[in-house]
Amino acid sequence: MRGVTNSPSKAPKLPRITDARFVAGATDESQLPPPTGVELAFAGRSNVGKSSLMNHLMGRRNLVRTSSTPGCTRQISFFEVSFTDGSLITLVDLPGYGYARRSKTERAMWAGLIEGYLLGRPTLSVVSLLIDFRRGLEADDLDLLKMLADEPRVARQPVQTLVVATKLDKVAAAQRKPAMLKVGKEAGRKVMPFSIKDQAMADGLWAELRRRAGLLIPTEPTPPHPSP
Ligand SMILES: Nc1nc2c(ncn2[C@@H]2O[C@H](COP(=O)(O)OP(=O)(O)O)[C@@H](O)[C@H]2O)c(=O)[nH]1
Ligand SMILES: [Mg+2]
């Protein structure tokens, strides 16, 4: 029965999260956890909504610390997420950049620990660059994209980069389409929209991240057919 292939029961179904936990925080290279699984990293300017997005993806209100003090997260944090299909994915929270009062120490940290991680981590699979819909892509964001693709400096497998524009709910409904077009043009690629107020966007982002990481989304088993 050919038609069965398109039946709704074959639709991709996102595995559910069974557990999410903080596993490590690193302020220098020696504290990085062993590279054991698929890692999805998140980067962006301070206050772009990175902690909120990561908490939302993991279905946890406060696992990733959000703070009203921009630039206060000065470590790379690792969170392990388990799924109903048995898969295990590590989400990696990178310190925010572009902070106006960024100190010399913070700049040195970016050049050392963070660039070292982004350019050399063998298990790094996807880097999501978060930008605020209302600000668009800025110089720091473009620098990051350039650095990730800087062949002579890269010492790992190629990674996928995904641009995610946050806080869509803060853009007036009539302005959303033009805003999407504008950031897409700046990024020169498709940009994923995100808002912590829209669960469908979190599901869409998970599906895209899994696809890019090469983690198949299982389909529902086809129910057996009665013999004619
Ligand atoms: N309206 C709205 N506010 C958001 C959204 N995402 C984050 N925020 C708010 O933006 C501020 C900064 O968020 P946070 O996650 O701490 O940003 P981070 O510095 O990038 O980790 C907080 O006050 C959040 O509540 C969103 O999708 N919609
Ligand atoms: Mg944060």
Its CATH class, for the domain covering 2-212, is alpha beta
Q: Return d(Cα 68, Cα 182) in angstroms, integer.
A: 28
Tokens of 59: 């279905």
Q: Which of these, 185, 186, 202, lies nearest to 194 by C-alpha position?
A: 202
Which residue spans within the chain are E strands per DSSP? Answer: 17-26, 38-44, 76-83, 88-93, 124-132, 160-166, 192-193
CB of 198 within 6 A of ligand 1: the answer is no
As to burial, measured by CB atoms within 10 angstroms (0-12 exposed, 13-18 middle, 19+ buried), residue 136 is middle
Instruction: For ligand 2, an ion, list residues with CB under 5 A.
Output: 50-51, 73
Is there a contact between 94 and 126 (Cβ–Cβ < 8 Å)?
no
Task: Please tell me the distance between residue 222's alpha carbon and the centre of ligand 1 in angstroms.
Answer: 41
Task: Give the model's pLDDT for residue 203.
Answer: 94
- Main-chain phi, psi angles of 201, to 5 degrees: -70, -35
DSSP codes joined into one string, 96-157: PB--TT--HHHHHHIIIIIHHHHHH-TTEEEEEEEEETTT---HHHHHHHHHHT-GGG--SS
Task: Round to whole Å and give the CA distance between 149 and 139.
Answer: 16
pLDDT higher than threshold 80 for residue 200: yes
pLDDT band at 182 (very low <50, low <70, confident <90, very high): very high
Query: Quick one: average pLDDT of 103-127?
Result: 88
Residue 172 and residue 53: Cα distance in Å, rounded? 20
Residue 75 Cα to ligand 2 middle (Å): 10
User: Which tens digits make up the pLDDT trace of 30-73?
Assistant: 999 999 999 999 999 989 999 999 999 999 878 887 654 444 55
**For residue 193, what pLDDT is reported?**
96
pLDDT at 109 over 80: no
Comparing C-alpha atoms, which of 125, 113, 81, 145 is closest to residue 214? 125
pLDDT-wise least confident of 2-16, 99-113, 199-213: 2-16
Q: In this structure, how many other beta carbons lie within 10 angstroms of the beta carbon of residue 24?
A: 16
Nearest protein Cα to ligand 1, atom 25: 52
Query: Which ligand number lies closest to the CA of residue 65?
Result: 2
Which residue in the block uniquely carries the two structure tokens 């699979």? Answer: 125
More confident call, 11 vs 126: 126
